[in-house]
Chains A and B, each alone.
Chain A
Amino acid sequence: MKRRSLLLGATLASMLLSTSAFAATTLSMWYHGAGSDVEGKLINQVIDDFNASQSDWKVELQSFPQAVYNDSVTAAALAGNLPDILDVDGPNMPNWAWAGYMQPLKIDESKIANFLPGTKGVWNGQLYSIGLWDAAISLVTRKSYLDELGLRVPTLDQPWTAAEFADALAKAKASGKFKYALDLGTAWTGEWYPYAFSPFLQSFGGDIVDRSTYKTAEGALNGEAGIAWGKWWQSLFTDGYAQATQDPADRDNGFNTGAYAFSWNGNWAALGTLKAFEDTLFLPAPDFGNGPKIGAASWQFGVSAKSAHPEGAAAFIEFALQDKYLAAFSNGIGLIPATPSAADLVDNYKPGGPLHVFFDYSNKTGLVRPVTPGYVVQAKVFEKAAADIAQGADVEETLDAAVDEINADIEKNSGYGH
């Protein structure tokens, strides 16, 4: 009897031991890609591979539509319900780190040494997030348009100057061939404005906020360079080159149907344009005095502050940084792979590929948006100011008011920890 119970005990103990050896700890992960079939398949592939590659961790995915993602994270943070791993839009990361939603990301940083600068989410000297891809903007046009208008093809080494860009717009308008010379995408609201239009301001020498201290926007947004940008920006609309109010249908379809000579658009729309016109050119941003600039940083992965298993979350993120996944995402959703070696694996982005220029633009002209928790407010203030100026508001007054609003917010939040 005693022996039998001993045997039973030993069997039970060995069962328990073996199950505990195989019981992987579950890590929850949130991702913003619900509704995108391709993106869903890609992220699930990474997760399946990771789960199969080891037995300590099991990542479980919850996808959100992009439009509700940020609000869902904020609400979940309030309710104490954040997952282990989350993805974050680059410019929002400092805010989430400052608000205590995220913790520093502990991965082997030698693995990201050759990543595009815009993919690294660094705040307060620490890495919080890392992206598998970046996005970039270019001035889209056709070779045939440039030839007809008698314009040279600008390059990264020799981008158009402000005068050349003005000349290009004037010639496009004078040709009478287009509804408008330039499609800026004013139909897209929200983050598009600071992402797409603040680099013009930075090329003029201004900025949304003074990056040396992050404690004021005075002089950066409403200084000489800021005012010069504002006047130029307004002239695009008063001279009839672009629409301050644009029909979304024009944004989606206008350039591809010949309504515009130039379009300021992202690499995600590039393949559709190439399909419409074989001679499509993706030109670098014009140089308004301080070099050509475009916005950098897209969605990145990080670890939530609440995670009880940051080492597991970091292990997953490190696993996802393999070139094959970077390439798979790029092939699937058209974004720029984060490393040159991954770009080599992607037909569109490898040297000589139709979209390779975007890799160079991101690498050489990409500028991250102000790295401060206050950016989320500053982005909205900038959007409103840019829209108001486009609609004809007084440049200096509008920029002064925007500076006041940004400074009041910084003060209200005690400098956001800067």
Chain B
Amino acid sequence: MSAQVSSNASTSRAPDNHGLRLAVRYLVLVLIAIIFIFPLIFMIMSSLKPDGQLLSDTRSLAAFLPVGDISFDNYVDAFKRAPVLLFVTNSVIVTGVTVVLSLVVCSIAGFAFVFIDWRGRELMLTLLLATLIVPFETIAIPLLLIASKLPWIGAEGLTFGWLNSYQVQIVPFVVDGLTVYLFIQYFKDLPGELIEAARVEGATWWQVYRRIVMPLAGPVVATAAILKFLAMYNQYLWPLMVVQEETYRPVMVGLQYFFQLNRAWGEIMAYLSLITVPVLAFYLVLQRAFIASIASTGVKG
């Protein structure tokens, strides 16, 4: 009897527990969401306020609210202070081209490492993985010395030295160990029968890559693209070293235009809000592709 009572009690308590757990879970998720979203809200709200108010609001919750003297003046001033559109265009060009080239080259490299048997493969893979532990700062100076002497054929014919160009910001970053590694790991998990069947049917390696492997690679393409995009869009040290002309300057170096002796915080926030737009747009587009690719893929588990 007592056992029955306790069992009744436990079944009647179960939904409550479930509801409570759900509530707690949502509370935690909401808190985490707030932690992530608040800096963005702070940035956007601050970009609408004059400096004095922006600084005094940081002491209260008003920092996150569109209160007080609200206007788009900071945006107007930011455009006056720096060629914002030029910097964003430069960064979008450099980032876009690098991401596309990187996806093509690194996926082909990953494919060759996983599916094709060639001499020296293990050694090359080891060397490639070893590059993962080398920080960029350690190779920046040798890379600068090389880039400053490389030949290039362009509108002006053959020239030497890549400084002050788009290619100097793109080419060194097309291939990186991490992206190739991501593709290798993903390709390894694809069912070998698919590839074997295609080879038996007479498909060339190129056809296997184009028709079979890449259509299944949506998730890893999205992941690699997002990582590469962020790394490239946030480039600071390298462009600082190789770009002296404003014409090729990217957004992160451009941010420094706003750090004068008397810092214009409102304009800094306006500039940051503006340069965040391409990042958010890229992420939202890829997020869709990411979900679609998982939903449509025939390979699960």
Assess the B241–A35 pair: CB atoms within 8 A: no
Tell me the smallest distance from the CB of B20 to a CB of chain A, in Å. Answer: 41
Surface stretch bound by B, among A75-83, A174-182, A344-352, A366-374: A75-83
Tell me the smallest distance from the CB of A333 to a CB of chain B, in Å. Answer: 9
Surface stretch bound by B, among A66-74, A120-128, A198-206, A381-389: A66-74
| Chain B positions within 8 Å of A81 at CB level | 148, 161, 163, 244
Q: Does B2 sit at the interface, judged by CB under 8 A?
A: no
Within the complex, which residue of A79, A252, A269 is in contact with B144, where a contact is CB–CB below 8 Å?
Answer: A79
Docked CA distance A65–B256 (Å): 6
Q: Does A34 sit at the interface, judged by CB under 8 A?
A: yes
Q: Does B263 sit at the interface, judged by CB under 8 A?
A: yes
Within the complex, which residue of B81, B242, B263 is in contact with A75, where a contact is CB–CB below 8 Å?
Answer: B242
Q: Does A157 sit at the interface, judged by CB under 8 A?
A: no
**Chain B contact patch, size range:** 20 to 34
Q: Does B18 sit at the interface, judged by CB under 8 A?
A: no
Docked CA distance A63–B247 (Å): 11
| Chain A positions within 8 Å of B6 at CB level | none
Surface stretch bound by A, among B51-59, B200-208, B293-301: B51-59
**Chain A contact patch, size range:** 20 to 34
Assess the B253–A65 pair: CB atoms within 8 A: yes
Q: Does A391 sit at the interface, judged by CB under 8 A?
A: no
Within B40-78, the residues touching A (CB, 8 Å) are: 51-52, 55-56, 58
Assess the A78–B145 pair: CB atoms within 8 A: yes
Within the complex, which residue of A37, A72, A253 is in contact with B80, where a contact is CB–CB below 8 Å?
Answer: A37
Assess the B256–A35 pair: CB atoms within 8 A: yes
| Chain B positions within 8 Å of A63 at CB level | 246
Tell me the smallest distance from the CB of B23 to a CB of chain A, in Å. Answer: 37
Assess the A35–B82 pair: CB atoms within 8 A: yes
Docked CA distance A57–B237 (Å): 33
Q: Mark A34-54, 1 if CB is under 8 A from B, else 0.
A: 111100000000000000000
| Chain B positions within 8 Å of A72 at CB level | 240-241, 244
B55, B141, B145, B161 interface centre (most CB from chain A within 10 Å): B55
Docked CA distance A34–B240 (Å): 14
Assess the B244–A269 pair: CB atoms within 8 A: no
**Given contacts A253-B56, A272-B262, A68 and B256 within 8 Å (CB-CB):** yes
Q: Does B258 sit at the interface, judged by CB under 8 A?
A: yes
Within the complex, which residue of A37, A68, A79, A253 is in contact with B163, where a contact is CB–CB below 8 Å?
Answer: A79
Docked CA distance A35–B245 (Å): 14
A35, A37, A81 interface centre (most CB from chain B within 10 Å): A35
| Chain A positions within 8 Å of B261 at CB level | 266, 268-269
Docked CA distance A248–B256 (Å): 17
Residue on A nearest B245 in the bound complex, by CB: A62
| Chain B positions within 8 Å of A68 at CB level | 240, 253, 256
| Chain B positions within 8 Å of A253 at CB level | 52, 55-56
Docked CA distance A36–B240 (Å): 19
Residue on A nearest B247 in the bound complex, by CB: A62
Assess the B52–A35 pair: CB atoms within 8 A: no
Assess the A75–B257 pair: CB atoms within 8 A: no
Tell me the smallest distance from the CB of A340 to a CB of chain B, in Å. Answer: 25
Assess the B262–A75 pair: CB atoms within 8 A: no
A-B contact pairs, 17 of them (CB 8 A): A34-B246, A35-B258, A36-B260, A37-B81, A62-B244, A65-B254, A67-B256, A71-B240, A72-B244, A75-B144, A79-B144, A79-B147, A79-B241, A252-B51, A252-B263, A253-B56, A269-B261
A contacts, CB < 8 Å to B: 30, 34-37, 62-68, 71-72, 75-76, 78-81, 248-249, 252-253, 257, 266, 268-269, 272
Task: With A34-B82, A76-B244 given, name 15 new contacts (CB 8 A).
Answer: A34-B246, A35-B260, A36-B81, A37-B81, A64-B244, A67-B256, A68-B253, A78-B144, A79-B145, A79-B147, A81-B244, A249-B55, A252-B263, A266-B261, A269-B261
